[in-house]
Amino acid sequence: MCTRILWNTNALGVFVARTMDWPTTTEPKLIIFPRGRQRQGNHLGTTALEMANPARWQSRYGSAVVSMYGLGTVDGFNEQGLAVHLLYLTATDFGTRHPQKQGVHAGLWGQYLLDNAATVKEALDLMAQIQPVMITIQGFASTVHVAIADASGDSAILEYLNGELVIHHGRQYQIMTNDPPYDEQLAYRAQFDFTNATRQTPLPGNVDPSHRFVRADYFLQVLPEPRNQREAIASVLAIARNVSVPFGAPNKVPGSLYNTEYRTAMDLTHRYYVFELTTAPNILWFPLEKFELHPEAPVMMLDPSHPELAGDVAAQFAPVAAAPY
Q: Look over the chain and give the mean of its residue pLDDT values, rounded to a whole number.
A: 95
Higher pLDDT, 169 or 250: 169
Instruction: Look at 33-37, 68-72, 199-203, 298-302 and tell me which has the smallest mean pLDDT.
Output: 199-203
Mean pLDDT, range 105-134, rounded to an integer? 97
> pLDDT tens digit string along 36-67?
999 999 999 888 999 999 999 999 999 999 99
CA terminus-to-terminus distance, the chain: 24
Instruction: Give mean pLDDT, residues 81-88.
Output: 97
Average pLDDT over residues 23-36: 95
Closest CA relative to residue 325, chosen from 6, 90, 48? 48
Q: In this predicted model, what pLDDT tens digit does every residue of 121-134 receive, in sequence order?
A: 999 999 999 999 99
As a whole number of angstroms, the distance between CA 61 and CA 118 comes to 8
CB 149 within 8 A of CB 157: no
Please give the Cα distance from 40 to 57 (Å, whole number). 6
Least confident of 76-85, 159-168, 191-200, 253-262: 253-262
Q: Where are the domains of the chain?
A: 2-319
Residue 39 confidence (pLDDT): 97
- Where does the pLDDT of residue 200 fall: very low under 50, low under 70, confident under 90, or very high at 90 and above? confident
Instruction: Find, among 261, 224, 160, the residue nearest to 7 by Cα.
Output: 224
Report pLDDT digits (tens) over 287-297.
999 999 999 99
Q: State pLDDT tens for residues 201-215.
A: 889 998 899 999 999
Contacts of 203 by beta carbon, 8 Å cutoff, 6+ apart: 214, 215, 218
Count of CA atoms in the C-beta half-sphere (13 A) of 238: 13
Average pLDDT estimate for 174-203: 93
Rounded average pLDDT over 178-197: 94
Per-residue pLDDT, 23: 85
Residue 149 backbone class (left: φ over 0; alpha: ψ -120 to 50; beta: rest): beta
pLDDT of residue 247: 81
Q: What pLDDT was estimated at residue 45? A: 85
Would you say 61 and 118 are in contact if contact means Cβ atoms under 8 Å apart?
yes
Is the pLDDT reported for residue 272 higher than 90?
yes
2-319 maps to CATH 3.60.60.10: yes
Task: Please check the confidence at residue 255 and state whether its pLDDT lies above 60.
Answer: no
CA separation, residue 89 to residues 44, 163, 175, 207, 230 (Å): 21, 14, 14, 15, 32
Reported as a pLDDT band with limits 50, 70 and 90, residue 256 is: low
* Helix (H/G/I), strand (E/B), else coil: 291: coil
What are the C-alpha distances in Å from 250 to residues 44, 63, 157, 240? 34, 37, 29, 20
List, in sequence order, every beta strand (DSSP E) within 49-143. 56-58, 63-67, 73-78, 83-88, 102-105, 130-133, 136-137, 140-141
Query: 275 by DSSP, 3-state: which?
Result: strand
